[in-house]
Structure 1
Amino acid sequence: MAQLKRFGFGLQALIVLATNDELRTSSDIAEQIQCEPTALRKILAQLADAGIVEVRQGRSGGYELTRPPGAITLYEVYSSLHDEQPQWDRMLDTTGNHGFGQRANESFRKIMADINTQVTLVLGNYTVADLIRPD
């Protein structure tokens, strides 16, 4: 699953958890956000590894947030689900080892660094709580 799709489903799962006071199963969340349950479990596992959600095992188990929604930034969620290079990094695949390609590669790297900085800044300014009550 592409990283931006994982990010979208992950955010939706967090919204479901943030708006419910009880534990929710992965199947329940998957049905609500219309995501394939196995894919969602992988996303929830990554969020659990990052300390964003907690998993309670057993018959009455499920998932819950580890912190209030206002304490979870979108950048934190993005970075926990980010396990491949961003799509814009693929621009480097178009440059060759010749002089022109090397100059283009250098320019592309500068642009990508700016993009990564902006993604970090923008996503760091929003929390899961902001998604629950959009302005």
Structure 2
Amino acid sequence: MAELKRFGYGLQALVVLASRSGQYSSTEIAELINGEATALRKILSRLTDAGFIEVSQGRGGGYTLARKPEDITLAEVYRTLQDDGAQWERMLDTTGNNFFGKKVRESFEQIIMDIHTQVDHVLLSYTIADLME
């Protein structure tokens, strides 16, 4: 669930940055999206590392969008903010190491793969620009 919250806050932060050409501090962004500035900085750090935003340090510094909003798909943002152990993979933790557990695990793995394919398909059809409309 935490990664979905990160995704939601990350998307909102990108929309804020796309809404004007100036810089925003993490505190300003946090206030606009009703988030916590310290947690948001971790999200902004990931988005910076991925090349979605740029940061200027020091007095008068802040965050700006590094790419055009129409060039940033929600799928890219989701992948950037997703942890290695995605939420659906936790289903696999419920299967045992016996015959039944192994058979169910195979089914769960297929379901998880299908979910990821569908989520990716949907998120690829939206950009940050779409969220601004």
TM-score by length of 2: 0.97
1:56 is aligned with what amino acid? S
d(CA) in 1 for partners of 2:10 and 2:49? 13
For residues 20-53 of structure 1, what are the alpha-carbon distances to aligned partners after superposition, in whole Å with 9 as ceiling and x for unaligned?
1210000000011111100000000000000000
| CA displacement at 1:132 relative to structure 2 | 0.5
Aligned residue pairs, count: 133
Which residue pairs with 2:73 in the alignment? 73
Which residue pairs with 1:40 in the alignment? 40
d(CA) in 2 for partners of 1:107 and 1:63? 44
For residues 98-127 of structure 1, what are the alpha-carbon distances to aligned partners after superposition, in whole Å with 9 as ceiling and x for unaligned?
111100000000010011111111111110
| CA displacement at 1:83 relative to structure 2 | 1.7
Question: Which residues of structure 2 form unaligned runs of 5+?
Answer: none
For the Cα contact (< 8 Å) 1:3–1:84, is it kept in 2? no
For the Cα contact (< 8 Å) 1:24–1:63, is it kept in 2? yes
Percent identity for Structure 1 against Structure 2: 59
Q: Which structure 1 residue ranges, 4+ long, deviate > 3 Å from structure 2?
A: none
d(CA) in 2 for partners of 1:9 and 1:123? 16
TM-score by length of 1: 0.95
d(CA) in 1 for partners of 2:88 and 2:23? 37
d(CA) in 1 for partners of 2:89 and 2:119? 13
1:25 and 2:28 are equivalent in the alignment: no
2:105 is aligned with what amino acid? N
1:86 and 2:81 are equivalent in the alignment: no
For residues 76-106 of structure 1, what are the alpha-carbon distances to aligned partners after superposition, in whole Å with 9 as ceiling and x for unaligned?
1111111242221111111101111100000
Which residue pairs with 1:100 in the alignment? 100
Which residue pairs with 1:62 in the alignment? 62
Question: Which residues of structure 1 form unaligned runs of 5+?
Answer: none
Question: Per the alignment, in what secondary structure is the counterpart of residue 63 of structure 1?
Answer: strand
